[in-house]
Amino acid sequence: MSLRSLNIPVIDFVGKRKIALIFSAMLLIASIASLGLQGLKFGIDFTGGTLIELGYEKTADLENIRTKLAEAEYEGANVQYFGSDTEVLIQLEPQATSSAKLSSSIIRMLGDGIDVRRVEFVGPKVGEELTNDGGLAMLYALIGILIYVAFRFEYRFALGSIAAIVHDVIITLGVFSILQIEFDLTVLAAILAVIGYSLNDTIVVFDRIRENFLATRHVEPEPIVNEALNQTLSRTIMTSLTTLLVLLALFYLGGEVINSFAGALIVGVVIGTYSSIYVASSMILALGISKEDMLPSEKEKKEIDARP
Amino acid sequence: MNHYAAWKNILIVFFLFILGLFALPNLYGSDLAIQISGSGNYDVSQRDLDKIKDTLSDSGVGFKSISLEDKNVLVRFNDSQTQLSSKAILKDSLTRNYVVALNLAPSIPQWLSGIGGKAMSLGLDLRGGVHFLLEVDMNAVTTMALDRYYNELRAELRKDKLYKKIRKEDNLLLVSFKSEELKNEAKKVIKNDLPDLVIAEGTEQELELGFEISATAQADAKLGALKQNITTLRNRVNELGVAEPIIQQQGTERIVVQLPGVQDTARAKEILGAVATIEFRMVDEKNDVQTAIQSGKTPTGSKIYKFKDGRPLLLKTNVITTGENIVDASSSMDENNQPSVSIVLDSSGGRSMLDTTKEFLGYRMAVVFIENQVETVMEDGVAVKKRTKTQDIINAATIQGTFSNRFQITGLDSAREATNLALLLRAGSLSAPVEIIEERTIGPSLGADNIQKGLISVLVGFALVLIFMAWRYRVFGLVANLALTLNLITIISILSLIQATLTLPGIAGIVLTVGMAVDANVLIFERIKEEMRSSKNIQKAISSGYEKALLTIADANITTLIASIVLFSFGTGPIKGFAVTLTIGIITSMFTAIIVSRAIINLIYGGKKVEELAI
C-alpha cells in the first residue's frame, strides 16, 4: 500500500536533503560569522549595569534628559523611547560609580512627578554569574536530553536530535546577533524553550521512523524515513501553527518586556519545525541507520509480546 | 469498545470538579486593606482586633470588615482614601510591637477560603514591588573573627607568659617565642583551649608559629553573620511597614529581600544597606586640636574626629557607650523645632552614662555617627570590593546635668535623617557590611500593565487556537477545545493550590503550554484519520489512534519536561517563573488531552454504530 493511494501528499523530503544541507549551512555560517564578528547585544542581566524605565505624562524630551545626564557626568548613558513616546528607557553601563544608589540619584535629579515604572540594577559579579549559570543550564538540558533519547531510541537518534537542537539554537542566536536585538534573561529562557520545542517535534518524527522500520519489510532507510516525514507532516504543521498563533498573540499584545521573548520563540519554532524535518532525519541517515538497529532488545520484545 | 467504565468517568468528573473549585478563588477581586501583624515574636490576637476596631470607630473611619487571619488583623476598606487615613491613625495609636502595612486582600467568600481556596500569588512584576539581592561582605566577617581570636590568643598565652610577640598578617596570627620549649608548650595550650585555631601549613619555624582559623570555625562565623544580618534586615523591613515581605538566605553569603508594593525604593535602599551605629565619647578639653593637626602628633588617649562640615575636634578614645546598648530610639522635634532622636539605653549602657555624666558635669560629650559601606567597582575590567568607613561627629554638647538611660540627641540635618537613624538604632546593627548587588523594581503602573497585557495575550492566543482547532477537526476539535479549557483551569488551580508565584514569564509559559497542549490532541486526531484510511472500522480507528499516539506523546512530553525541569533547577528569576508554569502545563495537558478528551469522545461515539466521524 502506498501513501499516494491514501491521499497523503508525498513530498520527497529525503531527496531534497542536499538542498536543505546547503540552506542550513548558509544559515549557520551567517549566524556564526555574525556571532563571531559583532556578537550578541547583551542586556544588563549579563553585562551588569543600571536600567531605568520612566513614564511621563506628555511626550518625553529625550534631548533634555540626555543633557541633564551629561551635565551630571553619567557616562555612557543610553536614552531612548520604550514602547511609546511617553515612556523612556535609560540604560547605563557598569561604571566606576556603579551601585544600587545610582538609580535613586538619577531619578531624584530628573525631577518629581515622573512615574518610575521599572528599575533594574545588576552588579558586575552577578552579571557574570548569570551568564555562567545560563550556559550551564543549556549544557545540562542538552546532556539530560541526550541521555533520555539514547535510552529510549538509539545513540544515532540522540546525535540526530542534538544536531537539530544545536542547529536551531545557533540560528536563533544568529538572528538576535544579526538584528542586534537585546539578549536578556527572558530571551535565554526562550532559547531553552526552543530546545524543548524542537526536540518535541524531532521525537515525534523519530518515533514514526522507528515504527515504520519495525512495521515494513523494506530495508532501504531512505523511503522509510521519507514516509515517516510525510505521515507526520500534517501534525508537524498543525502544531507549529497553533504554537505560532499564541506566540504572535504574545508578540503583539504581551507588551515590551515579553516582546523579545516571544520573538525568540517565533524564530525558534519556525527553525525548529524545519530542522525536525530536514536536519534531524538527514543526520540519522548520514550516520547510517538501518532496520537492525531498530529491532528491540530481548527484554523489550517480551514487553511487546505481552501487549494485547 | 471505546467505553470507559462508569467509575472511571465519575473519577474524572470528580477530579475536574475539585480542580475547578480551587481555581475559583481567582475569579474574585481583592479589597484594599491594612494588615496589622506583630513584630518579632509577638502574635496579634482577638484582643488586638477589638482594640483596633475601637480605635477606628472612635475616629469615625468607616471600614468594610475586620478579621483575624493567619496571625494578622486584616481591615478591609471601600476606597483608598479611608485606607490611607486609617493607616496613619493606626500607626499613631499602636505601639511598635505592631507592623502596620497597606495590602491587597483577596475577597474570597467564607465557604471557599474555609476549604483552603486561595488565589494565585502574583510575582513582583505583576503587583509592583522591589527585589533586592544583598551580599554580605564575608572578608569583613573573617577580619572581625581574626581580631577576636587575636585577643583570645593573646590572653591565653599571656597566662603563662609563653609568647614573645603576636602579630596579624593577612589571615594569619603569627606568634614568636623565646625558646622551642615555650613554643611546644604553646602548641599544647592552643590545642586544648582554642581548638578553633589551627597551625597554618608551612608557617612553623624554629621560634615562630602561624595560626589560622579552622575551616569549620570560619564557616560558623560566616553563617552566624548571615543569620544575624537576616534577623536585623527583618527588623528593618518590619519598621518600614511592608505586607508579606520575603527575606531569605540564598547560597552562603547572600540574602534576598522582596518587598511587594513598596513605593519609596530610595528609602528602602538607604535603610536596608546601611551599616550604621553611633558612639558616645568625651571631648578632649585639655589639648588643642589645631596644635595636634599642625604638629602631626595626636595626644595619647585621643583621636581627631570631624564634623560633617569638616571642623575637627579631639575626642577621647575611650567609648562611653555605643549603639549596641540602645534598646529603643524614636525621632521627634525638640523644643527648638530641631529634629532629634530620643534614646533609651539598656542597664549597662545606662550605668556607664550615669557614671560619666556625674564625673564630667560641665564638659562636652560628642555623638559620633559611624557608617561602613562596601561597593563593588570596576577597576581595569575587574570587579573589586571597595570599603569606606565614615565617622562624623553629629554633635558635641556640654553635659548640663546627670542622666542615665533616657536622653535626646540633636544636631541632625533633617527630619528624614532623624527618622532613619532612629529606625536603624531600633532595628539593631548588621553584624557585617552588606552590599546591594541586584535590584529589580517594578512600579505599580507597570505591574498593572503587565497583568492586563498578560491576560489579553493569553485570552487572544487561546481564542485563536480554539477557532483554529474547531475549523480543522470539527467535533473532535471541539472536544480538544474543551480539554484545552480544562487544562487552563487545571493549571490555574494547581498554581493556586501550591501557591507558586505567577510572574510575567510564567504567563508566557502558560501561553506556550496552550500552544503545545493541543499537540497531544493533534497527534491523536491525525493518527485516527490515518487509521480510518486503512480500515473501515471506525471504532477501531478511534481506539488504535489513541493507543498509537500515546507513546509518541509520552516521549515528546518527557523530553520537554527534562528541559523545563533543568530550567527550573538552574534558572533564576524570570527563567524559574517560566519553568514552573511550563512544567505544570506539560503534566496537566497529559491528563486533559489524553484521558479527559478520550472520555468525552467515548461518550459521543463509544459503543454506537457510527457511519462517519466528524474529524
A118 and A132 housed in the same domain: no
CA A59 to chain centre: 35
Residues in chain B with pLDDT values less than 70: 40-41, 96, 263, 378, 381
A157 and A266 housed in the same domain: yes
Neighbours of A25 (CB within 10 A): 10
**Is A121's CB within 8 Å of B269's CB?**
no
Q: What is the pLDDT of residue A5?
A: 47
Please give the DSSP secondary-structure letter assigned to residue B205.
Answer: B
A12 and A77 housed in the same domain: no
Q: What are A134's three cell numbers?
A: 545560563
A101 and A244 housed in the same domain: no
DSSP state letters, B242-285: -SS-EEEEETTTEEEEEEET-S-HHHHHHHHH-EEEEEEEEE--
What's chain B's average pLDDT? 86
First to last CA, chain B: 19
- Partners of residue A96 in chain B, C-beta under 8 Å: 377-379
Write out pLDDT tens, residues A8-64: 557 888 888 889 999 999 999 999 999 999 999 988 888 888 889 998 888 888 888
Residue after which a domain boundary falls, among A98, A122, A146: A122
A63 and A212 housed in the same domain: no
Residue type, B526: E
How close B300 gets to chain A, by Cα (Å)?
Answer: 38
**Minimum-distance CB partner of A245 among B468, B504, B522:** B468
CB B296 within 8 Å of CB B308 = no
Distance CA B262, CA B260 (A): 6
How close A168 gets to chain B, by Cα (Å)?
Answer: 15
Nearest to B193 by CA among B225, B244, B159: B159
Residue A308 reports pLDDT greater than 50:
no
A273 and A131 housed in the same domain: yes
A292 and A143 housed in the same domain: yes
A193 and A118 housed in the same domain: no
Asked if B456 is an interface residue toward chain A (Cβ–Cβ < 8 A), one would say yes
A117 and A134 housed in the same domain: no
Q: What is the pLDDT of residue B241?
A: 80
The arithmetic mean of pLDDT across residues A159-172, rounded, is 91
* Residue A278 lies inside a defined structural domain of this protein: yes
The residues, ordered by sequence, that sit 6+ positions from B191 with a Cβ below 8 Å of its Cβ are none
Asked if B138 is an interface residue toward chain A (Cβ–Cβ < 8 A), one would say no
Write out pLDDT tens, residues A253-266: 988 878 888 999 99
The arithmetic mean of pLDDT across residues A114-125, rounded, is 86
* pLDDT band of A2, cuts 50, 70, 90: very low
Burial B74-91 (b: 16+ CB within 10 A, else e): bbbbeeeebbeebbebbb
**Is B383's CB within 8 Å of A122's CB?**
no
Dihedral sign computed on CA atoms, order B324, B325, B330, B332 = negative
CA atoms within 13 A on the CB side of B455: 10
* Residue A237 lies inside a defined structural domain of this protein: yes
Residue A95 reports pLDDT greater than 70:
no
CB A79 within 8 Å of CB A90 = yes
How close B453 gets to chain A, by Cα (Å)?
Answer: 5
Q: What is the pLDDT of residue B258?
A: 92
Please give the DSSP secondary-structure letter assigned to residue A296.
Answer: P
Asked if B249 is an interface residue toward chain A (Cβ–Cβ < 8 A), one would say no
Asked if B455 is an interface residue toward chain A (Cβ–Cβ < 8 A), one would say no
Q: What is the pLDDT of residue A154?
A: 84
Q: What is the pTM of this model?
A: 0.79
Q: What are B224's three cell numbers?
A: 552566624
* Residue A307 lies inside a defined structural domain of this protein: no
Residue after which a domain boundary falls, among A63, A95, A122: A122
Q: What is the pLDDT of residue A148?
A: 85
Q: How many domains does chain A have?
A: 2
Residue after which a domain boundary falls, among A81, A106, A122: A122
What is the predicted ipTM?
A: 0.84
Distance CA B178, CA B175 (A): 10
Domains and CATH numbers, chain B: 6-24+443-605 (1.20.1640.10), 32-107 (3.30.70.260), 139-219 (3.30.1360), 274-441 (3.30.1360.200)
- Partners of residue B543 in chain A, C-beta under 8 Å: none
Q: What are A80's three cell numbers?
A: 531612548
Write out pLDDT tens, residues A230-240: 989 989 999 89
Distance CA B91, CA B96 (A): 9
Q: What is the pLDDT of residue B11?
A: 92
A272 and A290 housed in the same domain: yes
CB A5 within 8 Å of CB A145 = no
Residue A306 reports pLDDT greater than 90:
no
Query: Directed axis angle between helix B504-534 and helix A185-215, to 10°?
Result: 10
- Partners of residue A108 in chain B, C-beta under 8 Å: 266
* pLDDT band of A275, cuts 50, 70, 90: very high
Distance CA B282, CA B366 (A): 6
Query: Directed axis angle between helix B573-590 and helix B538-570, to 10°?
Result: 160
CA A163 to chain centre: 14
Q: What are A172's three cell numbers?
A: 536563533
Q: What is the pLDDT of residue B415?
A: 84
Residue A146 reports pLDDT greater than 90:
no
* pLDDT band of A1, cuts 50, 70, 90: very low
* Residue A293 lies inside a defined structural domain of this protein: yes
A135 and A278 housed in the same domain: yes
Residue A132 reports pLDDT greater than 80:
yes
* Residue A70 lies inside a defined structural domain of this protein: yes
Query: Directed axis angle between helix B138-158 and helix B180-193, to 10°?
Result: 120
Distance CA B330, CA B426 (A): 8
CATH value at residue A238: 1.20.1640.10
A131 and A215 housed in the same domain: yes
Question: Can you tell me which residue has the cell 551605629?
Answer: B277
How close A182 gets to chain B, by Cα (Å)?
Answer: 16
Q: What is the pLDDT of residue B195?
A: 86
- Partners of residue B461 in chain A, C-beta under 8 Å: 245-250
* Residue A61 lies inside a defined structural domain of this protein: yes
Write out pLDDT tens, residues B331-376: 888 888 888 888 989 888 899 899 999 999 889 999 998 887 777 7
CA A74 to chain centre: 35
Give me the domain span that covers residue A173. 4-41+127-297
Q: What is the pLDDT of residue B423?
A: 84
